Amino acid sequence: MKKLLLTALLSTLAAAALAEYPEKAITIVVPFAAGGPTDKVARDLGVVLSQKLGQPVIIENVGGAGGTLGAAKVAKAAPDGYSLLLHHIGMATSPALYRNMPYKTLEDFEYLGMINEVPMTVVGRPTLPANTFAELQKWLEANKGKINLANAGLGAASHLCGLLFQQSLKIDMTTVPYKGTAPAMNDLLGGQVDIMCDQTTNTTGQIEAGKIKAYAVTTPKRLTTPALSKLPTLDESGIKGFNVSIWHALYAPKGTPKAAMDKLNTALRASLKEPDFIKRQEALGAVVITDARTGPAEHKKFVEAEINKWGPAIKAAGQYAD
């Protein structure tokens, strides 16, 4: 009898604790250095999420190994709702890029919901003779073996987009990796490399200034941004089904109580509707997600589909990290 009473008491106390969640600050781990696009998304989200939850939201940067170090830290954290992970497309590409993963993407996390998507653009050096995508495709065909394709490093958005772009066109290009987007863009501006596929957050300003040539966007629909609205999609340009965007989403350690998950997801969905947050994301060239992927089930289904999409492309290219 005493044991039953004790068990009932503990269950009541646990339920009460969850009902009061959150009672202290929540930490969002960003698996990259401060100041980058993912860090900016996390800090913008943290402001509104804090307002919705009534507790401080602290951003902790844990960079290294393409985002896997920070993700591993959250996977191993206490599943109490106070340690979260905000990650980008690397959540889906890391399983193929890294031979020795310190966690299992689909098994070691609770999926909270997606946040935004950032479109990408196919751009070229200012002296490239092609002015339209059709002309670019002819130029690429005529210059096989001579084309330099820049990217910001293994696993970067530009690297992943470039891989899929090459495979879709069935044209091998010399991949030129850099230590970040800035040096890659500098060499594109200077004509040292020919083309690059990169996020609108990194290319829109250069396109507006007329410093690089823009050929297409990688999303299924054309963009509405003034500088990019006239660019065709790769799908309408003949590369059917091409769809690449860099997305961000929120995760918790596996086993986080449902009551905490429900509160976090409710707060996340409410945050994504805040006009100020939407405005800040638009300034980054990002589109806030409003569909069912803001919920756990569709979020996880989407990530699984992304793993299945990127895995074969990365493995076919034979580009791995230890």
Spell out the per-residue pLDDT of the chain, length 322, in tens.
Answer: 444 444 444 444 444 445 699 999 999 999 988 887 888 899 999 999 999 999 999 999 998 888 899 999 999 999 999 999 999 999 999 999 998 899 999 999 999 999 999 999 999 999 999 999 999 999 999 999 999 999 988 778 888 899 999 999 999 999 999 887 889 999 999 999 999 999 888 898 899 999 999 999 999 999 988 889 999 999 999 999 999 999 999 999 999 999 999 999 999 999 999 999 999 888 777 899 999 999 999 999 999 999 998 898 888 777 666 5
pLDDT of residue 14: 46
**Helix, strand or coil for residue 321?**
strand
CA distance 218 to 118: 10
CA distance 36 to 276: 20
CA 26 to chain centre: 22
In sequence order, what DSSP letters do the residues of 18-87 get, joined into one string?
HHT---S-EEEEESS-TTSHHHHHHHHHHHHHHHHHTS-EEEEE---GGGHHHHHHHHTS-SSSSEEEEE
Residues facing residue 197 across a β-bridge: 122
Distances (CA, A) of 200 to 24, 33, 131, 158: 37, 20, 19, 11
**Pairing mode of beta strands 57-61, 26-30:** parallel
CA distance 242 to 77: 37
Helix (H) or strand (E) holding 202: helix 200-208
Q: Are 241 and 249 in contact (CB under 8 A)?
A: no
Q: Compute how many other C-beta atoms are within 10 angstroms of the C-beta atom of residue 201.
A: 20
CA distance 103 to 83: 16
